Amino acid sequence: MADNTVSIGSSLSHVHVPGRREPEEDELKEGEVEIGMGIHNEAGSERKCTDLPGLVKTMLEHCLNAADQDRSFSSISDKDEVVLLVNNLGGVSPLELGGITNEVVEQLDGTFKIKPVRILSGTFMTSLNGLGFSITLLKVTDLQLGGGPSLLELLDAPAEASGWSAAIRSDTWQKRGQVTAEEKQKDAEEILPSNLRGKLRRRAELHDANDLLVNRTQAQSALKTALERLISVEPDVTKYDTIVGDGDCGIGLKRGAECRSLIT
């Protein structure tokens, strides 16, 4: 491990060699993750049950906590230009890898004030079907190539390797932050009071139509009943969607209904 590079991997299971079906002697338990596992099943530093934010926090601490004398291999700080690589060990879906990458980026910024100048996220080096990922941080240094391309220019250069994914530039994430801020502003504008009740009341007075007034209690009751019924039929929706589709319709509707139930 070089002074300007640090890497760590974690996985929910060991590599399963094709054609070998016997159970592993040291198989991980359900919900357990091995932190520091090597790409060839080398044992990690610990096993624990945690969620993604907790796992990423532990992994980044191992990589960047200078106070940890046993693991402080790197001198990367918020003053350095840093390239982030999030590597799929083989068994993680693109959707999951996107969520993992987002969590790593947010924690790097929030905890360590590190904003990567390039972000590489994809399947670069697998552990066959390993259900895990690795995080690698590279401190950009001067290669002293006598006027040649910089390290970032080399990373940005076109490549025809089938396993290489283009880097996500830092300005892309900055634009993402701007879009998020704009969306929040738009949402805030949309939830401003519309004075709908007052308008309806005035309209009712003009037309003597009291039935136009909204009964808040009845509306909430009807909405609650509809959401509860939607949640209750999730098993049936999932069953039939599994037959004709990918089986995600029921849980998606249920989660949406549960979120709406919390709001109401």
Report residue 232 as tokens.
């209750």
Q: Please, is 175 exposed, middle or buried when counting C-beta atoms within 10 Å of its C-beta (0-12, 13-18, 19+)?
A: exposed
Distance CA 229, CA 212 (A): 27
Q: What is the 3-state secondary structure (H, E, C) of 227-256?
A: HHHHHHCHHHHHHHHHHHCCCCHHHHHHHH
Distance CA 142, CA 169 (A): 19
Contact 1, 8 (CB under 8 A): no
Q: Which residues pair with 84 in a beta bridge?
A: 119, 137
40 is catalytic: yes
Amino acid at residue number 106:
E
Distance CA 259, CA 238 (A): 18
List 14, 16, 40, 207, catalytic entry: 40
Q: Which residues pair with 91 in a beta bridge?
A: none
Residues forming the active site: 40
